[in-house]
Structure 1
Amino acid sequence: MATPTDRVLVTGANGQLGRRLLQRLCDTDPPTPARALVRSRRAADSLADLSAKAGFEVRVADYADTQAMVEVAQGCTAAIHLVGILKETRANRYEAAHEQTARALVAAADATGLRRIVHTSIHGADPDSENPCLASRGRSDAILLAARTPALILRVPMVLGAGDAASAALRRAVLSGTAMLVGGGKSLEQPIAARDVVAALCAGLDGPGLDDRVLELAGPESLSHRALLERAARLLGRQIRFRTLPTSLARAGAYLAEKLLAEPPITRAMLGVLQHDDRVDAAPAARALGIDLSPLDDALRECLASEEAA
């Protein structure tokens, strides 16, 4: 963990993961100063209550504006970069969200002397991927790793935590009693508890031997999407039925949505990421970071109970 005299810059801080991270940084004894960076006044306002309680700064800037990023990085000693999108739209392109922001952050880090950048990427990120999202993610990872400032890339799977989209979707599917499975729900998931991702990010700030590394972070179990829904249903004491949508039809529907809608509910690239098989050895990353992984049932119980309470 960073020392109390350090200030950690957190980009994309208004998401659920960013909120948890900021709370964790401020809960250390003594607290670790944090500067939350968001890209709109509306996002900044959404952090006002948490900021007042936890005591961190909130700044607004365009993540892709190099000069703005240099200014906001002044006085910080490390950065945690949480910026990334799953769904590309006409107004929000992968290249702008991933590669341009990575270049601006690298320039800011090199100019201000940050000691390390810790970045959350996703499993399957590869510059040579045929999937536009995974390719863009791979290119942004490469930009960070090529910087003069040391970088640590943490590739993460589905994150389970109260308020997260994945947890809410699981609960909705189970409570409805019926779930539609693309391709029969055979794609592999390896969900990780949100608290474990936060622990990994904090450990990554100054842990030894982590410069310019890529770690495949994941939960302890890899299982099919169908099996994950069945597990969640069992923990909630529910029965669930399944219907299958062929992958080809799902892709055709996503294609039509892309062509007809400015804000499609799903795109082909997004579908491809969701269908990506996550099956990695979780032990090396956990060992390198010095963290313990929460059992899947514990993570599910916590997030499903939290969704119920909400």
Structure 2
Amino acid sequence: MAEATIGRVLVTGANGSLGRALIARLAASGIASRALVRSERAAAAVRSLPEAPEIAIVDWSDGEGLARALAGCDAAVHLVGVLKETPTQRYADAHEGTARALADAAKRSGLRRVVYLSILGASPLARNACLASKARAEAILLEPPLETTVLRLPMVLGGDDPATWALRARARDGVVPLVRGGASFEQPIDVRDVVAAIVGALRRPELAGRVLDVAGPESLPRSELIRRAAALAGKRPRFVPVPYFAVRAFAAIAERASAAPPLTTPMLEVLEHDDAVDPRPACAALGIELTRLDDTLRRVVARPGAPES
């Protein structure tokens, strides 16, 4: 089937690492974009891009403002989401709330095509609060008349983001404490493959209504992921296993003691969730090829500011 022509694309959460990478990819592909952000500070991060897009500063509670931001766009890519819930940043607001606001504004403006980035493991039956919340947001955006494609993602590496920073730091450390000794399985994907998947979904309207698991080429224990990254950096870390019950107890105490805990129980559960899916069906549907894990890891362990290949 022939690929569809893409007009202007609205990108929510455009100031984040993935949002900025997507805007750069859209610009390189000759696709116009409009960044939707909530503050002037977020807008400044987008303006710093070499080819800055149009910018709309709108609060998610402003339905009319959201509809105006969508006016003239042919599609929207919804990147907003949180891993850690706090009293001022609830899962219901960040996931279901923004999904409903976007859906209502899209219906008002006439926009139909949406690509939503979710998370591997999202399910309405999930006991984890974050995964269940993400599934409810998916359901909202999959409601007609919207024509939504959902891309469920694992850890994304290679950008200017906390996951990449953390892996880089662990790869360079001599001693690395790991929950359960790093037994949980990761299936990281290169940020460049994620933006390629988004563009692939935008170009394929026949994928409307589909939920695709988009993951990296290898599923491996977290300890092995760090070991491989460390080897590329010329390091040999020593892992110190930390009991899961101890970390879970710390998270529970931190949630009660702080309005901004460094770790919460739902966050820990997501981080320890095993990612092990077959990425081939999604890659075939989206027309993408995955970057080799070691090639991604070389970019991760490169010194900050070093040119990327």
TM-score above 0.5: yes
Alignment map for 1:294-309 (pairs within 5 Å): 294-305=291-302, 307=304, 309=306
- Report the Cα offset of residue 307 of structure 1: 3.3
Q: Secondary structure at the match of 1:309?
A: coil
Distance 2:137 2:112 in 1: 19
Please point out which of 279, 283, 286 is paired with 2:283. 286
Q: Secondary structure at the match of 1:47?
A: helix
Partner in structure 2 of residue 39 of structure 1: 38
Provide Cα deviations, 1:214-240, integer angstroms capped at 9, x if missing partner. 000001100000110111111111010
Partner in structure 1 of residue 13 of structure 2: 12
Gaps of 5+ in 1: none
Provide Cα deviations, 1:172-221, integer angstroms capped at 9, x if missing partner. 11212111111121110000000000000011112142011100000110
Please point out which of 183, 187, 212 is paired with 2:184. 187
Residue 151 (structure 2) pairs with residue 154 (structure 1): yes
Partner in structure 2 of residue 87 of structure 1: 84
Structure 2 vs 1, CA of residues 283 and 238 (structure 1 numbering), >3 Å: closer, same or farther? same
Residue 24 (structure 2) pairs with residue 23 (structure 1): yes
Distance 1:8 1:97 in 2: 21
- Report the Cα offset of residue 290 of structure 1: 0.3
Alignment map for 1:131-170 (pairs within 5 Å): 131-170=128-167
**Amino acid in structure 1 at the alignment position of 2:32:** P
Moved over 4 A (4+): none
Structure 2 vs 1, CA of residues 270 and 208 (structure 1 numbering), >3 Å: closer, same or farther? same
Distance 2:122 2:52 in 1: 35
Partner in structure 1 of residue 106 of structure 2: 109
Partner in structure 2 of residue 225 of structure 1: 222
Q: Pairwise CA RMSD of aligned residues?
A: 1.5
Contact 2:171 / 2:301 at 8 angstroms: preserved in 1? no
Contact 1:113 / 1:149 at 8 angstroms: preserved in 2? no
Residue 260 (structure 2) pairs with residue 263 (structure 1): yes
- Report the Cα offset of residue 306 of structure 1: 5.4
- Report the Cα offset of residue 309 of structure 1: 2.6
**Amino acid in structure 2 at the alignment position of 1:241:** R
**Amino acid in structure 1 at the alignment position of 2:54:** E
**Amino acid in structure 1 at the alignment position of 2:35:** A
Distance 2:183 2:245 in 1: 14
- Report the Cα offset of residue 65 of structure 1: 3.2
Provide Cα deviations, 1:41-63, integer angstroms capped at 9, x if missing partner. 1111122221xx31410111113
Partner in structure 2 of residue 276 of structure 1: 273
Structure 2 vs 1, CA of residues 9 and 2 (structure 1 numbering), >3 Å: closer, same or farther? farther
Q: Secondary structure at the match of 2:48?
A: helix
Provide Cα deviations, 1:17-51, integer angstroms capped at 9, x if missing partner. 000100111112xx21100011111111122221x
Q: Return the TM-score normalized by structure 1.
A: 0.95
Distance 1:99 1:239 in 2: 43
Provide Cα deviations, 1:249-307, integer angstroms capped at 9, x if missing partner. 11100011110111111100000000010000010000000000001001111222153
**Amino acid in structure 2 at the alignment position of 1:202:** V
Distance 1:162 1:84 in 2: 17
Structure 2 vs 1, CA of residues 101 and 177 (structure 1 numbering), >3 Å: closer, same or farther? same
Contact 2:47 / 2:53 at 8 angstroms: preserved in 1? no
Partner in structure 2 of residue 130 of structure 1: 127
**Amino acid in structure 2 at the alignment position of 1:181:** L
Distance 2:178 2:64 in 1: 46
Q: Return the TM-score normalized by structure 2.
A: 0.95
Distance 1:189 1:137 in 2: 19
Q: After alignment, is 202-211 or 221-230 more displaced?
A: 202-211
Gaps of 5+ in 2: none
Distance 1:14 1:88 in 2: 20
The size of the alignment, in residue pairs, is: 305
